Structure 1
Amino acid sequence: MEIRAIDHIELFVEDAEEPAAHLRDGFGFALAGRGGAGTGLRGCESVLLRQGGITLLLTAATSADHRAAEYVRQHGDGVGVIGLLVDDAQAAFAEAVERGAVPVAPPETVGPDGARVVFASVEGFGDVEHRFVSRENRAGPFAPFIEETGCGRGGGGLLKTVDHFAICVPAGTLDATVHHYREVFGLSQTFEERIVVGGQAMDSKVVQSASERFTLTVIEPDTSRDPGQIDAFLAAHDGAGVQHVAFLTDDITTAVRTGGERGVRFLSTPESYYDMLTPRLGQVGVPVDELRELNILADRDHAGVMLQIFTESRHPRGTLFYELIDRRGARTFGSNNIQALYEAVARQQAARPAGLD
C-alpha cells in the first residue's frame, strides 16, 4: 500500500468544545464543521478543525457504548485514530488484514458521486486505530456526517502539516511494534538510538512511509534503570499511546510568539542550555538571544538545522502534548535536546497540584 499523507487525526475527548476552543484560540486552527445526531453521527458529537494540511476531528461520546467513551474512560483525552490517505482504502484494508492487521471497521463508502469517501480501519498500537481513507475529491468535504462551515483545506496559518507522532510503548515491545509497521503497513525503519539521561534510559526507533508523510517515533523505557517519563506516561495513560503530535512550521519564532500571546504555554529551558548552544552547534539561523527568550531548542544533523519547542500538557493526567518543529534541512528528531525536554517536563510534573497523578 502507498500511504500518501495523514488524512486526519481523531482525538477522543470527554468534551469536544473546550479542547477545540484551545486549538482554535491558541494554535490558529479554523472551525471547519460539526457533526452529531442531526448530521448522521451515532453516539457522539464531533468538531472538525483545519489549518494548512492538518485536519483534526475531536469526538466526544454521547452514548456510553461509543468507542470514544471507552477510550476516555481508560486513557483520558488522547489520539484515538490516525487517518491515512491512500489511493484505495478498500484495497489497503484488505492488504493490511492479509498481512496480519486486526480489522476494526470494514470498508464503508459515503458521500455523493464525485465526492465519495471510503473509510476502513485496522488496529495500530495500543488502542489507536488506523483509518484508511480514499477520496474521489481530495479537496472536497471531509464526510457527509460533518456539516462543514466552508473553511477550506489550505489558506493561511502558521502550522503546515503533521511532522511526526511520538508514541510510547511498554518495555520489551519496541521491536515488535516496529516489525508490525514494517510488515503490515510497509513502513521502513529510518533511525534508531538509545538515550541516557541521568539514571534513566530509553530506546527509540523511527519508522516512515515511502512518501515520508507518515512518521512514527516509537519509544520504550529501559526498566533496568531508574523509572523515567516514558514509564510515567505509560502508567498515567494506562498503556501505549501518542505522547505528542509534532506540527511542522516554516516560522517557529512567529508561531511561538503568536501562540504565547494566545495563551499556549510552552515548556521552559534552563539558561545553561543557551550558554552552550553556539559552541555546540555554531550559527543556527536565529539569534541565540531570541531562542533563549522564546525557549526554543535547536539541533543539527548531517542535513541541516532543526528548531523545536514543546507545549505543556493540559491533560489532567499530564500525558498528551504538542510539538512545533521548524526543519531547516534537518531530518532527525532533536535527540540532543532530550535532556532539556526531560528537565522541562520534570519541572512541570513537580509543579502539578497533588492528587492529579
Structure 2
Amino acid sequence: MRTSIATVSLSGSLTEKLTAAARAGFDGVEIFENDLLASPLTPEEIRVRCADLGLGIDLYQPMRDIEAVPAEEFARNLRRARHKFELMRRLGADTVLVCSSVHPLAVDDDALATEQLNRLADLAAESGIRVAYEALAWGRHVSTYDHAWRIVETAGHPALGTCLDSFHILSRTSDPRGLNGIADIPGEKIFFLQLADAPLLAMDVLQWSRHHRCFPGQGGFDVAGLVRQVLRTGYDGPLSLEVFNDVHRQAEAGPTAVDARRSLLVLGEEVGLASLPEPTAPTGVAFAELVTPDAAPVSALLAALGFARTARHRRKPVELWEQGAARVLVNTGPAAGRDGTCLAAIGLESPDPSAAARRAEALLAPVLPRRRAPEDATLDAVAAPDGTELFLCATDRPGLPNWRADFEDVPRTGAAAARAVRIDHLSLTQPWHHYDEAVLFHRSVLGLDAQESVDVADPYGLLRSRAVANADGAVRIPLTVGAAPGDDTAHARHIALATDDVVAAARRFVGAGGRLLPIPANYYDDLAARFEFAEGELETYRDLGILYDRDAQGVFRHCYTHTVGRVFFELVQRDGGYQGYGAANAQVRLTAQHAAR
C-alpha cells in the first residue's frame, strides 16, 4: 500500500512538511502550489530533497478554472499550463490535478469542456504529464465525480484521467448514484485518489471543505466504503491524504504526519490492504497514576475517599492506594510537580500485553523506554497523543509480568471501610490540537469503541467530548477538548469511582473531612420540575451536592470533590442500564469548578 500526503495537510515550511512526511513513513507527497511558491528552494532542489528523504512527488496541484471558458480565456490558460508543465518537469512530477471550473465566465457546455481538456492533455502529453480531472463539490457546472468521468470518458485522451476525492464525493449526500458509479470507471483511468474524512455538519460545503476536513476514521464519512469501490476498479495508485484543517495548520507537523499515516494504516487494514497485529482491547483499569510534588493533600483526599495506603514501590517514590478494585498510584519522583498534581499514567488490564504492544508499535504509538532493575516487572508502555503513559498490564495472572510484584506491602494507613467498587471511568482533557488524533488513537491502537460526540457548554466556551470504551464498560475514557487553543489548561482531569451507594459514600467522605463541590440551589429547583423523587430524596442530594440524570435505560447519581492541582475525583452510582456520563449536568459542574477556582 503506497501512501501519500498533500503538503497542505501539514503546517510549516515546505522543507518542514517534507521532513515530517518522510519521518512518519509516507512514500510520497502531493506538492501544493502555494507551498512551492513560498519555498526558497528551486524545483530542482525540492526534487533532490524529496529523493534524499525517500519521497516520490505523486502529484502537483491545483490547476484551476481551465475548462468550459471563452476562447481568449482558454488561450491564457494554455499559456499558464505551459509554464506549469515546465515547472513540473524540473520538479520531477508527472501528474497534475485540474479542478472543475468555478470561473464566473465558465459555461454549462460539456462538449466545450471536453474539447478544451483534450487540448490541455495534448500539451501535457508533450511533457510526459498526465492530467487528473477532479469534480469540486462546489464546481460551477461540474460538481459530481460521475459528471467529471463522463467528460473524461468522452474525451478519450490517454493523458487525461480523473481524480476521485472522498470529500467531494461523500459531502454530496444528495448524489442519487452514491458510490455505485465508481465501479463503472476503469481503474487505469483513475489517475489519483485523494482521501479526507469530515464531521457531519450542516454548512456551506466550501467552508466545510476548507476548515473541517480530518483524517480517515476521525469524522463521519464512510471513507473505507469509497476506497473499497475504487479498489474494485483495479486502481493501484497511492492512497493520498488531502486535508484542509485549521487545527493542523497550527499544530506541529511531525505529530500531525504521524496521526495522518496512522489513519491510513487503519484504513488499509479495514479495506484489506494492510496487515496489522489484531487489536487486543483492554478488559479493565489496573491503576491510575498521579504525579505530585506534595503527597500530603493527595493522600488526605484519598484517605477521605476511603482508600488505604497498602504498598510502596521497591525502588521508586511511588505509593499504592487501594479501595475495592480501585487502585491509585501516587508518584513523588523527580519528574513530578512541574504542572502540579496531575493524572499522568493509566494501567490497562490486557488479556495479552505483548500483543497489545505489538499493535501499538505497528500503529506508530511511541513505545516508552523504562529504567528498571533486573527484578522489576517487564511492563510494556506506550504514549498517547497527549503524553499520557499507558501501561499494558496483567495483575496477578500466572505466566504474565505482574506490576504488583514491584511493590512491597506496608502497614495499612487510611480508611478501614471501602465504599468504591472500582474505577468507573477516567476523563482525560485533551490539548485542542490532539483531540481528533486521540479519538482515533484510542479506537485503533487500544481497540476501544468510540461513542457519539457531544457538545458541553462551559462558562467560557463550548467543549467537545467523546468517550471511548470497551464492550462491557469496564474501561471508559471520555476525551474532552476546549473550543480554543489554550482552553484545555482551565480543565482538570478526573477519576470517577463507582459505588453502589453514592449517598453513603458522599456522607462518609464529608465525615472524613473531605469537601464536595457545592452545587447551586437553582439546579435542584430544576430537578424538582423535571423529575419526581421520593420524600426527602431531593433534599439529600441538595445537602451533599449530588447531581442526578436519568434516561430510558437507568439512573445516574454523581458528585465531585474539590480539585487538587489538576485532578479531582467523582463518585458515581449507575442504576439500571445507564451508560452515559451525566453530560446534562456538565455545565453546572464546570461553572461550579470555575467559581471554586
TM-score calculated relative to the size of structure 2: 0.49
CA shift at 1:48, angstroms?
Answer: 1.1
**Are the equivalent residues in 1 in contact too, given 2:295–2:330 (CA < 8 A)?**
yes
**Are the equivalent residues in 2 in contact too, given 1:281–1:299 (CA < 8 A)?**
no
CA shift at 1:98, angstroms?
Answer: 1.1
Report which structure shows greater RCO (CA 8 Å, sep ≥6).
Answer: 1
Q: Residue in 2 aligned with 1:196?
A: 457
Instruction: Report SS of the residue matched to 1:144.
Output: helix
Q: Does 1:325 align with 2:325?
A: no
User: 1:339, 1:284 → 2: CA distance?
Assistant: 26
Q: Residue in 1 aligned with 2:354?
A: 90
Any stretches of 5+ residues in structure 1 without a counterpart? 62-68, 234-241, 350-357
**Residues 118-157 of structure 1 correspond to what in structure 2 (within 5 A)?**
118-135=378-395, 137=397, 143-149=404-410, 156-157=417-418
Q: Equivalent of 2:366, from 69, 78, 102?
A: 102
Q: Residue in 1 aligned with 2:423?
A: 162
Letter in 2 for 1:27: L
Structure 1 218/146 Cα, relative in aligned 2: closer, same or farther at 3 Å? same
Describe the superposition over 1:265-322 as per-residue Cα deviations: whole angstroms up to 9, x where unpaired: 111111111112132133389711111111111011221110111111132xxx2111
Q: Does 1:275 align with 2:525?
A: yes
Q: Equivalent of 1:299, from 541, 544, 549?
A: 549
CA shift at 1:348, angstroms?
Answer: 0.5
Q: Equivalent of 2:341, from 63, 74, 77?
A: 77
Structure 1 261/182 Cα, relative in aligned 2: closer, same or farther at 3 Å? same
Q: Residue in 1 aligned with 2:291?
A: 12
Instruction: Report SS of the residue matched to 1:202.
Output: strand
Letter in 2 for 1:52: G
Structure with larger Rg: 2
Letter in 1 for 2:475: F
Q: Does 1:59 align with 2:306?
A: no
**Are the equivalent residues in 1 in contact too, given 2:292–2:341 (CA < 8 A)?**
yes
Aligned pairs, number: 312
**Are the equivalent residues in 2 in contact too, given 1:117–1:133 (CA < 8 A)?**
no
Q: Residue in 1 aligned with 2:305?
A: 27
Q: Residue in 2 aligned with 1:236?
A: none
User: 1:170, 1:2 → 2: CA distance?
Assistant: 24
**Are the equivalent residues in 2 in contact too, given 1:121–1:130 (CA < 8 A)?**
yes
Describe the superposition over 1:166-215 as per-residue Cα deviations: whole angstroms up to 9, x where unpaired: 11112243222101111111111123211234562111111112342111
Structure 1 142/105 Cα, relative in aligned 2: closer, same or farther at 3 Å? same
CA shift at 1:107, angstroms?
Answer: 12
Q: Equivalent of 1:232, from 487, 490, 496?
A: 490
**Residues 213-224 of structure 1 correspond to what in structure 2 (within 5 A)?**
213-223=474-484
**Residues 199-214 of structure 1 correspond to what in structure 2 (within 5 A)?**
200-214=461-475
Q: Residue in 1 aligned with 2:590?
A: 342
Describe the superposition over 1:146-179 as per-residue Cα deviations: whole angstroms up to 9, x where unpaired: 111487xxx9510111111111112243222101
Q: Equivalent of 2:448, from 174, 182, 187?
A: 187
Greater alpha carbon shift after TM alignment, 339-348 vs 141-150: 141-150
Instruction: Report SS of the residue matched to 1:343.
Output: helix
Task: Identify the structure with the greater helix proportion.
Answer: 2
User: 1:150, 1:56 → 2: CA distance?
Assistant: 17
Greater alpha carbon shift after TM alignment, 116-125 vs 203-212: 116-125
User: 2:469, 2:372 → 1: CA distance?
Assistant: 27
CA shift at 1:122, angstroms?
Answer: 0.4
CA shift at 1:125, angstroms?
Answer: 3.7
CA shift at 1:76, angstroms?
Answer: 1.7
TM-score calculated relative to the size of structure 1: 0.79
Q: CA RMSD in A?
A: 2.8
User: 1:203, 1:2 → 2: CA distance?
Assistant: 24
Structure 1 300/244 Cα, relative in aligned 2: closer, same or farther at 3 Å? same
**Are the equivalent residues in 2 in contact too, given 1:90–1:118 (CA < 8 A)?**
no
Instruction: Report SS of the residue matched to 1:70.
Output: coil
Instruction: Report SS of the residue matched to 1:256.
Output: helix
Q: Residue in 1 aligned with 2:219?
A: none
CA shift at 1:247, angstroms?
Answer: 0.7
Deviating above 4 A after TM superposition, structure 1's stretches of 4 or more consecutive aligned residues are: 106-111
**Are the equivalent residues in 2 in contact too, given 1:82–1:128 (CA < 8 A)?**
yes
Greater alpha carbon shift after TM alignment, 255-264 vs 282-291: 282-291
Describe the superposition over 1:124-154 as per-residue Cα deviations: whole angstroms up to 9, x where unpaired: 242310001124538x985333111487xxx
Describe the superposition over 1:77-111 as per-residue Cα deviations: whole angstroms up to 9, x where unpaired: 21121001112222221121112211003798987
**Are the equivalent residues in 2 in contact too, given 1:110–1:144 (CA < 8 A)?**
no
User: 1:258, 1:129 → 2: CA distance?
Assistant: 32
CA shift at 1:16, angstroms?
Answer: 3.4
Letter in 2 for 1:181: H
Describe the superposition over 1:231-283 as per-residue Cα deviations: whole angstroms up to 9, x where unpaired: 523xxxxxxxx611111111111111110011111111111111121321333
CA shift at 1:57, angstroms?
Answer: 1.4
CA shift at 1:20, angstroms?
Answer: 2.3
Structure 1 60/198 Cα, relative in aligned 2: closer, same or farther at 3 Å? closer
**Are the equivalent residues in 2 in contact too, given 1:171–1:223 (CA < 8 A)?**
yes
User: 2:392, 2:536 → 1: CA distance?
Assistant: 39
Of all paired residues, the percent bearing the same amino acid is 24
Structure 1 284/124 Cα, relative in aligned 2: closer, same or farther at 3 Å? farther
Q: Residue in 2 aligned with 1:46?
A: 318
Any stretches of 5+ residues in structure 2 without a counterpart? 1-279
CA shift at 1:223, angstroms?
Answer: 2.3
Describe the superposition over 1:22-54 as per-residue Cα deviations: whole angstroms up to 9, x where unpaired: 312x1111221123xxx3x1xx31211111111
**Are the equivalent residues in 2 in contact too, given 1:71–1:80 (CA < 8 A)?**
no
